[in-house]
A and B are shown apart, each in its own frame.
Chain A
Amino acid sequence: MKVVAQHMGDALVIRVDQDRIDAASAIQFKDQMRQLTQTGAPRVVLDLAQVAFIDSSGLGAIVAAMKGLGPAQKLELSGLTDTVKKVFRLTRMDTVFTIHSDLPVSLAKAG
C-alpha cells in the first residue's frame, strides 16, 4: 500500500498511489492514515483518483481514518472514480463525507 502525503497550505493532501483499497490492504492503509494524520493538520484531503476499486473493508478503513482524527481535524475526499463512487453512494457514505470531484483548485495550485 503506497500513500504519499504532502502539506499544501493548511491542508494535508494524502494521495493513494494504489489501484485498490481492499481486504488485503485495508489494515495497512488504516495504520498509514493514522501515522500520517498525527501531525494534527486541521484539513486532511484524501486523494483517491488512482483508486479504481474499493471494497467494504476499504470503505471501513476510510471511515476508521475519519473517526481516528482529532476533534479539530476534518477528512475530505477527492477524485472518486466511478466504481468507488458507486460504493459510497450505495452505502450512503457520500452523505457523510465532503467529496470533491478533483483536488480543490486552491490545493492543486499550491502543489
Chain B
Amino acid sequence: MTLHQSFRRQASHVIAHADALAVRHGLASLFAQEPLTCLSDDLRGTAEIVMAEVLNNIVEHAYAAQSGAIEVSIDLGENGLECTITDSGAPMPSDDLPKGKPYALDQMDDLPEGGFGWFLIRSLAQDLQYARFRGQNYLRFRLPAHALVA
C-alpha cells in the first residue's frame, strides 16, 4: 500500500462556541488528524498560519456580536490542500473579502500592530472564494503544493 492510499485525505472539525481559545484547541485537533499529520513541517506551518488567521478573523468579526460554530474541512488533493470554512456569523462587509494591502514600515513610531491577517492569508492562499448563502459564510481556498514547499 502506498503512502497516498494509506492515509485519510480529508480532515474536518467543528469548533463550537468559537472564541480565541476554542480556535487554538480546534487547530490542535485539526493538525493532529491525517492528512495534516503527514505533511512536512514547512507545509504544516504554512497551513497553520493561514488557518489561524481565517479562524481568528471569524471570531473577531463575523462572531463579534454573538459566538457560534465554525466548520473546517481540509482535503488533500493533487494541487495541494483544498480548504473550506463555514460560519453563521455576520457577512463580510460589502460581501467581499478584505484586500490585505501592504503597509508602510518606514515610520518606526507608527508601525502597524494589526492588519497582518489578510495580508498573510493572501500571501499564502490561492483561489480565494467567498460566498454568503442562507445566513452562512463560505470561504474556500487552496494552499498550493509549490507554495507549501517554498
Across the interface, which residues of B come within 8 angstroms of A29, CB to CB?
none
| A90 contact from B19, B114, B124, Cβ within 8 A | B124
Across the interface, which residues of B come within 8 angstroms of A67, CB to CB?
109, 111, 113
User: Which B residues between 10 and 34 are near A, CB-CB below 8 angstroms?
Assistant: 19-21, 23-24
| B111 contact from A57, A63, A82, A83, Cβ within 8 A | A63
Distance, CA A20 to CA B114, complexed state (A): 18
Across the interface, which residues of A come within 8 angstroms of B52, CB to CB?
22-23, 53, 55
**Which chain A residue shows the least CB distance to B110?**
A67
Is A109's CB within 8 Å of the partner chain B? no
Across the interface, which residues of A come within 8 angstroms of B120, CB to CB?
56, 87, 90-91
B 114-143 to A, binary, CB cutoff 8 A, 1 in contact else 0 = 101101100110000000000000000000
**Contact of A59 with B116 at beta-carbon distance under 8 Å, contacts A82-B45, A92-B105 already known:** yes
Query: What's the dominant secondary structure at chain B's contact region?
Result: helix
Which has the most chain B C-beta neighbours within 10 Å: A20, A22, A55, A66? A55
A 76-111 to B, binary, CB cutoff 8 A, 1 in contact else 0 = 000000110011001111011000000000000000
- Bin chain B's interface residue count: 20 to 34
- Bin chain A's interface residue count: 20 to 34
How many Cβ-Cβ contacts under 8 Å join chain A to chain B? 76
* B49 and A87 contact, CB distance less than 8 A: yes
Q: List 28 A-B contacts (CB under 8 A).
A: A22-B20, A22-B23, A22-B24, A23-B23, A23-B52, A23-B56, A24-B21, A24-B24, A55-B56, A55-B117, A56-B53, A56-B116, A56-B117, A57-B56, A57-B114, A60-B113, A60-B116, A63-B113, A82-B41, A82-B42, A82-B45, A86-B45, A86-B46, A87-B120, A90-B120, A90-B123, A93-B105, A95-B105
Interface residues of A (CB under 8 A from B): 20, 22-24, 53, 55-57, 59-61, 63-64, 66-67, 82-83, 86-87, 90-93, 95-96
Interface residues of B (CB under 8 A from A): 19-21, 23-24, 41-42, 45-46, 48-49, 52-53, 56, 59-60, 102, 105, 108-109, 111-114, 116-117, 119-120, 123-124
